[in-house]
Amino acid sequence: MSNQKRRLPFVQMDVFTSVPLEGNQLAVFADGRGLADDEMQALAREMNLSETTFIFPRDAAVERERGVRVRIFTTTEELPFAGHPTLGTAMVLRNVQGSTNGGAEEIALDLNVGKIPVRFSTRDNLPFGMMTQRDPEFGQKHSREDVARTAGLSVDDIAADLPIQSVTTGNPFIIVPVKSLAVLQKLSPTWASLNAYLGKSDAKFFYFVSREALHPEAKLQARMIFYNGEDPATGSAAGPCAAWAVQYGVVPPEQQVLMEQGVEMKRRSRIFFSAGKSGDKIVNVRVGGHAVEVVRGEVFF
């Protein structure tokens, strides 16, 4: 029996932050060719982060036309789309100097949800990436009473002047506007309760949003509780949140604003977003931020 082990290099990024050890963690395997689905799932469990991505290099002409093929896994499942893995993986590809994508102004990822472009600029003297998400789809509206009961809140803890609504740009979220920062900070729902409600809805997760934020430069502050606990930054929720915010007048069309997440868990994330309006449709949903490399290593198995 051979003792030869496979060696898989990976990079770990902190995403939606320019400060190491903040933001949302992401493991990126630069070459997933030859890995079976169950092996990728096992590696994601081993990394034990919100998400792990696998890049599948292809011919340069194919990548120019269709994008760089990337698959995204949580510790328990594959996702069609997720925001911080999209931004973080694109940043890894951009940082590889001498490669097809090294230093590129735009990198498109070919995800299970389709082609998602990430455009790079410089902000605060650091690379800054902004992804354009799919145009949003607005789903069902939810009652304050039902959501309050599910989340362990009182009805008065939820804002009465904005709707609670499911929105997706590839991953469906119920956007819940809470009344104040204090309500957001005290939020402690159980996943069992949230999941029971979600199982009867058109969404996969809840996203709780406050129009009061701890840091004055932020327009919104958010939290997302899911089966792995709490997520420090959720880019696939920030897009739906941007669409919801523009649709209901929280944010003007095409104005880029800062939303923070992960503050309560001491992994402050800075998520920049904007969305436009064309007639009665929300378009041009863009979500971005910084990402920094914090770990390089190899997995042997």
Q: What is the pLDDT of residues 10-50, one digit of tens each?
A: 999 999 999 999 999 999 999 999 999 999 999 999 999 99
Give the predicted TM-score (pTM) of the model.
0.94
pLDDT at 1: 47
Q: Is residue 184 classed as helix, strand or coil in its secondary structure?
A: helix
**Residue numbers in the chain where pLDDT is lower than 50:** 1
pLDDT at 205: 97
Q: What percent of the chain has pLDDT over 70?
A: 97
Beta-bridge mates of residue 208: 176, 223
pLDDT at 99: 66
What does the alpha-carbon distance between residue 158 and residue 101 come to, in Å, rounded to a whole number? Answer: 45
Q: Where are the alpha helices (DSSP H) in the chain?
A: 37-47, 60-66, 83-95, 144-151, 181-186, 191-198, 235-247
Place of tokens 């790079």: 120
* pLDDT tens string 96-106: 855 667 778 99
